[in-house]
Structure 1
Amino acid sequence: MNAFLGPLETDGRVQPRQQTRVAAFLVSAHGALARQFAVALPAKFDAAWQVELNAQFYRESEIVSLLARATTWVPDFALTHMVASWEMAWLPAPVEDIADPARAQAIHLATLAHAIHAGIRPAALLPTEASQNDPFVMALRRIEFESSRLLQAQILFLKGPDLLPFRDAVSAALERRHAEVRRLWNETLESIGIVQRE
Protein backbone atom coordinates (compact mmCIF):
# COMPACT_ATOMS: atom_id res chain seq x y z
CA MET A 1 0.00 0.00 0.00
CA ASN A 2 1.18 3.51 -0.89
CA ALA A 3 0.24 6.92 0.47
CA PHE A 4 0.17 8.41 -3.07
CA LEU A 5 -1.16 7.58 -6.50
CA GLY A 6 1.23 5.37 -8.43
CA PRO A 7 3.34 3.82 -9.61
CA LEU A 8 3.10 6.48 -12.29
CA GLU A 9 3.41 5.77 -15.99
CA THR A 10 6.78 6.40 -17.67
CA ASP A 11 5.75 9.94 -18.68
CA GLY A 12 4.70 10.77 -15.09
CA ARG A 13 0.98 10.44 -15.69
CA VAL A 14 -1.39 8.77 -13.23
CA GLN A 15 -2.49 5.26 -14.28
CA PRO A 16 -5.90 5.27 -16.05
CA ARG A 17 -7.29 2.66 -13.61
CA GLN A 18 -6.49 4.90 -10.65
CA GLN A 19 -7.78 7.96 -12.49
CA THR A 20 -11.06 6.20 -13.23
CA ARG A 21 -11.68 5.05 -9.65
CA VAL A 22 -10.78 8.40 -8.04
CA ALA A 23 -12.67 10.45 -10.63
CA ALA A 24 -15.75 8.23 -10.36
CA PHE A 25 -15.91 8.85 -6.61
CA LEU A 26 -15.42 12.61 -7.03
CA VAL A 27 -17.99 12.83 -9.84
CA SER A 28 -20.48 10.95 -7.68
CA ALA A 29 -19.90 13.20 -4.64
CA HIS A 30 -19.79 16.55 -6.45
CA GLY A 31 -22.54 15.48 -8.86
CA ALA A 32 -24.80 14.71 -5.89
CA LEU A 33 -24.10 18.16 -4.47
CA ALA A 34 -24.82 19.81 -7.84
CA ARG A 35 -28.15 17.95 -8.17
CA GLN A 36 -29.21 18.76 -4.63
CA PHE A 37 -28.21 22.43 -4.94
CA ALA A 38 -30.22 22.61 -8.19
CA VAL A 39 -33.33 21.24 -6.44
CA ALA A 40 -32.86 23.66 -3.51
CA LEU A 41 -32.56 26.71 -5.78
CA PRO A 42 -35.73 28.84 -5.90
CA ALA A 43 -36.97 30.23 -9.21
CA LYS A 44 -36.49 33.77 -7.86
CA PHE A 45 -34.12 34.92 -5.13
CA ASP A 46 -35.66 36.65 -2.13
CA ALA A 47 -32.77 36.26 0.32
CA ALA A 48 -29.06 37.06 0.09
CA TRP A 49 -27.95 33.53 1.05
CA GLN A 50 -29.64 32.17 -2.11
CA VAL A 51 -26.99 33.92 -4.20
CA GLU A 52 -24.36 31.73 -2.51
CA LEU A 53 -26.52 28.66 -3.15
CA ASN A 54 -26.54 29.52 -6.85
CA ALA A 55 -22.75 29.97 -6.89
CA GLN A 56 -22.24 26.62 -5.15
CA PHE A 57 -24.46 24.86 -7.71
CA TYR A 58 -22.35 26.15 -10.61
CA ARG A 59 -19.03 25.38 -8.89
CA GLU A 60 -20.10 21.76 -8.25
CA SER A 61 -21.25 21.42 -11.86
CA GLU A 62 -17.91 22.82 -13.03
CA ILE A 63 -15.99 20.24 -10.96
CA VAL A 64 -18.00 17.39 -12.51
CA SER A 65 -17.47 18.77 -16.01
CA LEU A 66 -13.74 19.21 -15.41
CA LEU A 67 -13.32 15.63 -14.19
CA ALA A 68 -15.34 14.18 -17.05
CA ARG A 69 -12.95 15.76 -19.56
CA ALA A 70 -9.62 15.54 -17.72
CA THR A 71 -9.85 11.86 -16.72
CA THR A 72 -8.53 9.02 -18.85
CA TRP A 73 -11.45 6.63 -18.32
CA VAL A 74 -11.11 2.84 -18.59
CA PRO A 75 -13.71 0.10 -18.00
CA ASP A 76 -14.04 -0.71 -14.28
CA PHE A 77 -16.71 -3.28 -13.51
CA ALA A 78 -16.36 -2.90 -9.75
CA LEU A 79 -17.73 0.63 -10.07
CA THR A 80 -21.29 -0.63 -10.58
CA HIS A 81 -21.54 -1.73 -6.96
CA MET A 82 -19.37 1.08 -5.61
CA VAL A 83 -21.32 3.89 -7.29
CA ALA A 84 -24.61 2.48 -5.96
CA SER A 85 -23.29 2.58 -2.39
CA TRP A 86 -21.91 6.11 -2.85
CA GLU A 87 -25.16 7.44 -4.28
CA MET A 88 -27.13 5.98 -1.37
CA ALA A 89 -24.76 7.70 1.07
CA TRP A 90 -25.39 11.15 -0.43
CA LEU A 91 -29.15 11.00 0.13
CA PRO A 92 -30.61 13.39 2.71
CA ALA A 93 -30.63 12.10 6.27
CA PRO A 94 -32.99 13.41 8.95
CA VAL A 95 -31.50 15.91 11.39
CA GLU A 96 -32.61 15.47 15.00
CA ASP A 97 -34.69 18.26 16.56
CA ILE A 98 -35.19 20.04 13.20
CA ALA A 99 -38.89 20.03 12.29
CA ASP A 100 -38.74 22.65 9.51
CA PRO A 101 -38.16 20.77 6.20
CA ALA A 102 -36.47 23.74 4.48
CA ARG A 103 -34.03 24.21 7.37
CA ALA A 104 -33.36 20.45 7.55
CA GLN A 105 -32.59 20.40 3.79
CA ALA A 106 -30.21 23.36 4.14
CA ILE A 107 -28.41 21.67 7.05
CA HIS A 108 -28.18 18.40 5.13
CA LEU A 109 -26.68 20.16 2.11
CA ALA A 110 -24.23 22.20 4.17
CA THR A 111 -23.04 19.22 6.24
CA LEU A 112 -22.64 17.01 3.16
CA ALA A 113 -20.79 19.75 1.27
CA HIS A 114 -18.60 20.48 4.31
CA ALA A 115 -17.69 16.79 4.66
CA ILE A 116 -16.85 16.45 0.96
CA HIS A 117 -14.86 19.67 0.70
CA ALA A 118 -12.98 19.27 3.97
CA GLY A 119 -12.61 15.50 4.05
CA ILE A 120 -11.47 14.80 0.49
CA ARG A 121 -8.10 16.25 -0.46
CA PRO A 122 -7.41 14.79 -3.91
CA ALA A 123 -4.24 16.81 -4.61
CA ALA A 124 -2.64 15.29 -1.49
CA LEU A 125 -2.61 11.97 -3.37
CA LEU A 126 -0.23 13.28 -6.01
CA PRO A 127 3.45 12.34 -5.69
CA THR A 128 5.95 15.14 -6.35
CA GLU A 129 7.07 13.49 -9.59
CA ALA A 130 3.56 13.54 -11.12
CA SER A 131 3.58 15.19 -14.55
CA GLN A 132 2.46 18.81 -14.70
CA ASN A 133 1.22 18.06 -18.22
CA ASP A 134 -1.29 15.45 -17.03
CA PRO A 135 -4.79 17.00 -17.23
CA PHE A 136 -5.90 14.71 -14.39
CA VAL A 137 -3.13 16.04 -12.11
CA MET A 138 -4.14 19.64 -12.87
CA ALA A 139 -7.83 18.77 -12.31
CA LEU A 140 -7.16 17.32 -8.84
CA ARG A 141 -5.22 20.44 -7.86
CA ARG A 142 -7.98 22.69 -9.19
CA ILE A 143 -10.67 20.74 -7.33
CA GLU A 144 -8.82 21.01 -4.04
CA PHE A 145 -8.36 24.76 -4.55
CA GLU A 146 -12.08 25.23 -5.30
CA SER A 147 -13.06 23.01 -2.36
CA SER A 148 -11.13 25.20 0.07
CA ARG A 149 -13.04 28.25 -1.21
CA LEU A 150 -16.43 26.55 -1.13
CA LEU A 151 -15.79 25.29 2.40
CA GLN A 152 -15.89 28.85 3.73
CA ALA A 153 -19.56 29.21 2.77
CA GLN A 154 -20.52 26.03 4.62
CA ILE A 155 -18.62 27.13 7.73
CA LEU A 156 -20.37 30.52 7.74
CA PHE A 157 -23.79 28.90 7.41
CA LEU A 158 -23.25 26.10 9.94
CA LYS A 159 -21.80 28.48 12.54
CA GLY A 160 -24.26 31.27 11.80
CA PRO A 161 -26.73 32.78 14.26
CA ASP A 162 -29.74 31.12 12.56
CA LEU A 163 -28.55 27.68 13.67
CA LEU A 164 -27.41 28.67 17.16
CA PRO A 165 -30.46 27.09 18.86
CA PHE A 166 -29.72 23.81 17.01
CA ARG A 167 -25.96 23.71 17.57
CA ASP A 168 -25.89 20.19 19.10
CA ALA A 169 -28.06 18.68 16.35
CA VAL A 170 -25.98 20.37 13.63
CA SER A 171 -22.70 19.23 15.21
CA ALA A 172 -23.96 15.64 15.44
CA ALA A 173 -25.14 15.67 11.80
CA LEU A 174 -21.81 17.13 10.68
CA GLU A 175 -19.84 14.51 12.59
CA ARG A 176 -21.90 11.68 11.05
CA ARG A 177 -21.40 13.07 7.55
CA HIS A 178 -17.66 13.45 8.00
CA ALA A 179 -17.32 9.88 9.27
CA GLU A 180 -19.34 8.50 6.35
CA VAL A 181 -17.50 10.46 3.65
CA ARG A 182 -14.12 9.57 5.20
CA ARG A 183 -15.04 5.86 5.30
CA LEU A 184 -16.18 5.78 1.66
CA TRP A 185 -13.17 7.78 0.46
CA ASN A 186 -10.73 5.53 2.35
CA GLU A 187 -12.41 2.38 0.99
CA THR A 188 -12.13 3.77 -2.55
CA LEU A 189 -8.46 4.57 -2.11
CA GLU A 190 -7.69 1.19 -0.52
CA SER A 191 -9.28 -0.48 -3.56
CA ILE A 192 -6.47 1.01 -5.71
CA GLY A 193 -3.66 0.38 -3.24
CA ILE A 194 -3.58 3.69 -1.37
CA VAL A 195 -3.73 4.03 2.39
CA GLN A 196 -4.66 7.36 4.00
CA ARG A 197 -3.14 8.20 7.34
CA GLU A 198 -5.60 9.85 9.74
Structure 2
Amino acid sequence: MRLRNKPWAKPLIEANPQFITTSPQDYRGRWNKRFGNNAPLHIEIGMGKGQFIIEMAQKYPEWNFIGIEIQTSVAAVVLKKQLALQLDNLQLICANGSGISEYFEDGEAATIYLNFSDPWPKKRQAKRRLTYPTFLKQYQEVLKKDGHLEFKTDNQKLFEYSLKSMNNFGMIFDNISLDLHKSEEAIDNVMTEYEKKFSQRGQVIYKLAAHF
Protein backbone atom coordinates (compact mmCIF):
# COMPACT_ATOMS: atom_id res chain seq x y z
CA MET A 1 0.00 0.00 0.00
CA ARG A 2 1.87 3.06 -1.25
CA LEU A 3 0.55 6.60 -1.42
CA ARG A 4 2.19 9.77 -2.60
CA ASN A 5 3.63 11.90 0.13
CA LYS A 6 0.90 13.97 1.75
CA PRO A 7 2.18 17.17 3.37
CA TRP A 8 -0.68 17.16 5.87
CA ALA A 9 0.05 13.63 7.12
CA LYS A 10 2.89 14.25 9.58
CA PRO A 11 1.25 17.33 11.21
CA LEU A 12 -2.01 15.38 11.60
CA ILE A 13 -0.19 12.53 13.31
CA GLU A 14 1.72 14.89 15.60
CA ALA A 15 -1.53 16.65 16.56
CA ASN A 16 -3.29 13.46 17.64
CA PRO A 17 -1.04 11.49 20.02
CA GLN A 18 -4.13 10.13 21.79
CA PHE A 19 -4.80 7.85 18.81
CA ILE A 20 -1.41 7.31 17.15
CA THR A 21 2.22 7.08 18.20
CA THR A 22 5.52 7.11 16.35
CA SER A 23 7.35 5.91 19.49
CA PRO A 24 5.66 2.59 20.31
CA GLN A 25 8.64 1.43 22.35
CA ASP A 26 7.52 3.94 25.00
CA TYR A 27 4.44 1.78 25.66
CA ARG A 28 6.12 -1.62 25.74
CA GLY A 29 4.41 -3.59 28.49
CA ARG A 30 2.02 -0.70 29.16
CA TRP A 31 -0.47 -0.86 26.31
CA ASN A 32 -3.24 -1.79 28.73
CA LYS A 33 -2.73 1.56 30.45
CA ARG A 34 -2.92 3.39 27.13
CA PHE A 35 -6.25 1.67 26.42
CA GLY A 36 -7.38 2.00 30.02
CA ASN A 37 -8.29 -1.68 30.39
CA ASN A 38 -6.88 -5.21 30.33
CA ALA A 39 -8.75 -6.49 27.27
CA PRO A 40 -6.97 -8.95 24.93
CA LEU A 41 -4.63 -7.19 22.51
CA HIS A 42 -4.81 -7.90 18.77
CA ILE A 43 -2.16 -6.50 16.40
CA GLU A 44 -2.15 -6.07 12.63
CA ILE A 45 1.26 -5.57 11.01
CA GLY A 46 0.85 -3.55 7.83
CA MET A 47 -2.67 -2.16 8.18
CA GLY A 48 -2.85 -0.39 4.81
CA LYS A 49 -5.76 2.05 4.74
CA GLY A 50 -7.24 0.41 7.82
CA GLN A 51 -10.33 -1.36 6.50
CA PHE A 52 -9.53 -4.61 8.34
CA ILE A 53 -8.39 -3.22 11.69
CA ILE A 54 -11.24 -0.69 11.89
CA GLU A 55 -13.93 -3.25 11.07
CA MET A 56 -12.41 -5.69 13.57
CA ALA A 57 -12.46 -3.01 16.29
CA GLN A 58 -16.10 -2.29 15.50
CA LYS A 59 -17.04 -5.97 15.39
CA TYR A 60 -15.26 -6.90 18.64
CA PRO A 61 -15.57 -3.96 21.06
CA GLU A 62 -14.49 -6.23 23.93
CA TRP A 63 -10.98 -6.53 22.43
CA ASN A 64 -8.23 -3.96 21.94
CA PHE A 65 -6.68 -3.49 18.49
CA ILE A 66 -3.44 -1.93 17.26
CA GLY A 67 -2.69 -1.26 13.60
CA ILE A 68 0.96 -0.82 12.56
CA GLU A 69 1.96 0.98 9.37
CA ILE A 70 5.41 2.20 8.34
CA GLN A 71 4.30 4.77 5.76
CA THR A 72 3.33 8.12 7.24
CA SER A 73 0.87 9.03 4.48
CA VAL A 74 -0.94 5.69 4.77
CA ALA A 75 -1.07 5.80 8.57
CA ALA A 76 -2.51 9.31 8.38
CA VAL A 77 -5.34 8.07 6.14
CA VAL A 78 -6.31 5.56 8.84
CA LEU A 79 -5.98 8.23 11.51
CA LYS A 80 -8.49 10.40 9.64
CA LYS A 81 -10.99 7.55 9.80
CA GLN A 82 -10.31 6.99 13.49
CA LEU A 83 -10.80 10.67 14.25
CA ALA A 84 -14.25 10.39 12.70
CA LEU A 85 -15.11 7.14 14.48
CA GLN A 86 -13.40 7.72 17.86
CA LEU A 87 -13.10 3.99 18.61
CA ASP A 88 -11.94 3.50 22.20
CA ASN A 89 -10.46 0.08 21.43
CA LEU A 90 -8.25 1.12 18.51
CA GLN A 91 -4.73 2.55 18.60
CA LEU A 92 -2.37 3.18 15.69
CA ILE A 93 1.38 2.93 15.32
CA CYS A 94 3.37 4.66 12.59
CA ALA A 95 6.63 2.72 12.66
CA ASN A 96 8.38 -0.27 11.12
CA GLY A 97 6.54 -3.49 11.93
CA SER A 98 9.81 -5.43 11.82
CA GLY A 99 10.57 -4.13 15.32
CA ILE A 100 7.51 -5.62 16.98
CA SER A 101 9.44 -7.19 19.87
CA GLU A 102 10.70 -3.71 20.75
CA TYR A 103 7.13 -2.39 20.92
CA PHE A 104 5.49 -5.18 22.93
CA GLU A 105 6.53 -7.10 26.00
CA ASP A 106 6.79 -10.90 26.03
CA GLY A 107 3.31 -12.39 26.12
CA GLU A 108 1.53 -9.07 25.69
CA ALA A 109 -0.54 -9.94 22.60
CA ALA A 110 -3.38 -12.39 21.96
CA THR A 111 -3.29 -12.37 18.15
CA ILE A 112 -1.08 -11.08 15.36
CA TYR A 113 -2.56 -10.53 11.89
CA LEU A 114 -0.48 -10.53 8.71
CA ASN A 115 -2.68 -9.50 5.81
CA PHE A 116 -1.44 -9.36 2.22
CA SER A 117 2.15 -8.71 3.19
CA ASP A 118 4.72 -7.82 0.56
CA PRO A 119 5.76 -11.19 -1.00
CA TRP A 120 9.38 -10.11 -1.64
CA PRO A 121 9.52 -12.70 -4.47
CA LYS A 122 13.27 -12.84 -5.14
CA LYS A 123 15.37 -15.40 -3.24
CA ARG A 124 17.72 -12.77 -1.89
CA GLN A 125 14.69 -10.94 -0.40
CA ALA A 126 13.49 -13.89 1.68
CA LYS A 127 14.69 -12.36 4.95
CA ARG A 128 12.24 -9.47 4.41
CA ARG A 129 9.18 -11.72 4.28
CA LEU A 130 7.10 -11.34 7.42
CA THR A 131 6.96 -15.13 7.83
CA TYR A 132 10.77 -15.53 7.78
CA PRO A 133 12.13 -17.26 10.93
CA THR A 134 13.53 -14.08 12.48
CA PHE A 135 10.04 -12.55 12.38
CA LEU A 136 8.42 -15.73 13.67
CA LYS A 137 10.76 -15.61 16.65
CA GLN A 138 9.56 -12.10 17.48
CA TYR A 139 5.91 -13.15 17.18
CA GLN A 140 6.58 -16.07 19.51
CA GLU A 141 7.99 -13.69 22.11
CA VAL A 142 5.19 -11.15 21.82
CA LEU A 143 2.27 -13.60 21.81
CA LYS A 144 0.76 -15.16 24.90
CA LYS A 145 1.23 -18.92 25.32
CA ASP A 146 -2.26 -19.48 23.93
CA GLY A 147 -1.96 -16.68 21.35
CA HIS A 148 -2.03 -17.27 17.62
CA LEU A 149 -1.00 -15.89 14.26
CA GLU A 150 -3.36 -15.35 11.31
CA PHE A 151 -2.03 -14.90 7.79
CA LYS A 152 -3.88 -14.06 4.56
CA THR A 153 -2.56 -13.58 1.04
CA ASP A 154 -3.46 -13.91 -2.62
CA ASN A 155 0.11 -14.95 -3.44
CA GLN A 156 0.38 -18.74 -3.74
CA LYS A 157 4.18 -18.83 -3.62
CA LEU A 158 4.28 -16.68 -0.48
CA PHE A 159 1.63 -18.89 1.11
CA GLU A 160 3.60 -22.05 0.32
CA TYR A 161 6.79 -20.44 1.63
CA SER A 162 4.99 -19.39 4.82
CA LEU A 163 3.62 -22.89 5.41
CA LYS A 164 7.13 -24.34 5.12
CA SER A 165 8.70 -21.61 7.25
CA MET A 166 6.16 -22.00 10.05
CA ASN A 167 6.29 -25.78 9.92
CA ASN A 168 10.10 -25.76 10.13
CA PHE A 169 9.85 -23.35 13.05
CA GLY A 170 7.69 -25.90 14.89
CA MET A 171 4.40 -24.02 14.70
CA ILE A 172 1.11 -25.90 14.94
CA PHE A 173 -1.54 -25.16 12.32
CA ASP A 174 -5.08 -24.60 13.56
CA ASN A 175 -6.57 -24.04 10.14
CA ILE A 176 -5.44 -23.87 6.52
CA SER A 177 -7.73 -22.58 3.78
CA LEU A 178 -6.78 -22.80 0.11
CA ASP A 179 -9.87 -20.83 -0.94
CA LEU A 180 -11.01 -18.72 1.99
CA HIS A 181 -14.07 -17.21 0.36
CA LYS A 182 -15.49 -20.63 -0.45
CA SER A 183 -14.88 -22.01 3.04
CA GLU A 184 -16.94 -21.92 6.24
CA GLU A 185 -14.65 -19.17 7.53
CA ALA A 186 -16.00 -16.80 4.89
CA ILE A 187 -19.05 -16.17 7.10
CA ASP A 188 -17.08 -14.27 9.75
CA ASN A 189 -14.23 -13.12 7.54
CA VAL A 190 -13.31 -9.43 7.69
CA MET A 191 -11.73 -8.27 4.44
CA THR A 192 -8.88 -5.88 3.75
CA GLU A 193 -8.82 -3.40 0.87
CA TYR A 194 -6.57 -5.69 -1.16
CA GLU A 195 -8.66 -8.74 -0.36
CA LYS A 196 -11.83 -7.10 -1.60
CA LYS A 197 -10.15 -5.97 -4.82
CA PHE A 198 -8.50 -9.33 -5.50
CA SER A 199 -11.59 -11.41 -4.69
CA GLN A 200 -13.70 -9.28 -7.05
CA ARG A 201 -11.28 -10.27 -9.80
CA GLY A 202 -11.89 -13.92 -8.96
CA GLN A 203 -8.50 -14.47 -7.36
CA VAL A 204 -8.21 -17.17 -4.69
CA ILE A 205 -7.48 -15.97 -1.15
CA TYR A 206 -5.32 -18.18 1.07
CA LYS A 207 -5.47 -18.14 4.86
CA LEU A 208 -3.86 -19.95 7.76
CA ALA A 209 -4.09 -19.74 11.52
CA ALA A 210 -1.31 -21.18 13.68
CA HIS A 211 0.18 -21.08 17.16
CA PHE A 212 3.56 -21.76 18.75
TM-score (norm 2): 0.26
Q: Which has the higher helix share?
A: 1
Larger strand percent = 2
Q: Greater CA radius of gyration, 1 or 2?
A: 1
The structure showing larger relative contact order (alpha-carbon pairs under 8 Å, at least 6 residues apart) is 1
TM-score (ref. length: structure 1): 0.27
